[in-house]
């Protein structure tokens, strides 16, 4: 079984910019409920179907499967909740960890969030100077919720 341990933070400043090149992502939610969310994502020339279990703090179940690109595009166009999540993802190496920074576009323009994946929930890590408030437990920042209530409507 796949498990994701991820913590999410807002950014204090643009000190991370220039440390990585971004890649465009587009994703849409086919279902999101109490037990799980189901999304289709196109990123880096690949399409995937992803199922994430309900969030329990920083830990949740996660499963991901490849999809044919044509199927993914069709699902995003016809089945996914609108607006789609559009973002540029940057990977920044810092003190032995990879920080993924998502700069959102479209209906979520202006939102920038950093995530770090850990091996254990209690794993220690150094926080870069450009990292701000932790929002791991704030459901407004879950991508599935950003598809339902975009940042532009907060």
Domain boundaries, the chain: 3-153
Residue 56: pLDDT band (50, 70, 90) is low
Per-residue pLDDT reduced to its tens digit, 77-130: 999 999 999 999 999 999 999 999 999 999 999 999 999 999 998 999 999 999
Residue 29: active-site member = yes
* pLDDT of 54: 79
Rounded to an integer, the average pLDDT of 22-42 is 93
Angstrom distance (rounded) from CA 126 to CA 97? 9
As a whole number, the mean pLDDT across the chain is 94
Give this prediction's pTM.
0.91
Q: Look at 12-21, 54-63, 64-73 and tell me which has the smallest mean pLDDT.
A: 54-63
Given a cut of 80, is residue 145 above it in pLDDT?
A: yes
Q: Which position among 29, 90, 94, 141 bears the catalytic label? A: 29
Q: Give 16's pLDDT tier (boundaries 50, 70, 90).
A: very high
Model confidence band, residue 60 (pLDDT cutoffs 50, 70, 90): confident
**Matching CATH number, 3-153, of 2.40.320.10, 2.60.40.10, 2.40.160.40, 3.40.50.10710:** 2.40.320.10
């Amino acid at each position: 079984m796949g498990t994701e341990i991820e913590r999410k933070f807002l950014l204090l400043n643009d000190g991370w910019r220039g440390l990585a090149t971004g890649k465009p992502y587009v994703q849409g939610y086919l279902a999101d409920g109490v037990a799980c969310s189901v999304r289709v994502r196109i990123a880096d020339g690949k399409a995937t179907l992803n199922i994430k279990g309900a969030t329990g703090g920083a830990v949740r179940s996660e499963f991901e499967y490849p999809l044919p690109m044509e199927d993914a595009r069709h699902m995003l166009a016809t089945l996914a909740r609108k607006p789609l999540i559009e973002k540029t993802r940057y990977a920044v190496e810092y003190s032995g960890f990879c920080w993924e920074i998502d700069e959102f576009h479209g209906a979520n323009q202006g939102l920038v969030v950093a995530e770090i994946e850990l091996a254990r929930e209690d794993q220690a890590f150094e926080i870069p100077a450009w990292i701000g408030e932790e929002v791991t437990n704030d459901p407004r920042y879950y991508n599935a919720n950003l598809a339902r209530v975009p940042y532009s409507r907060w």
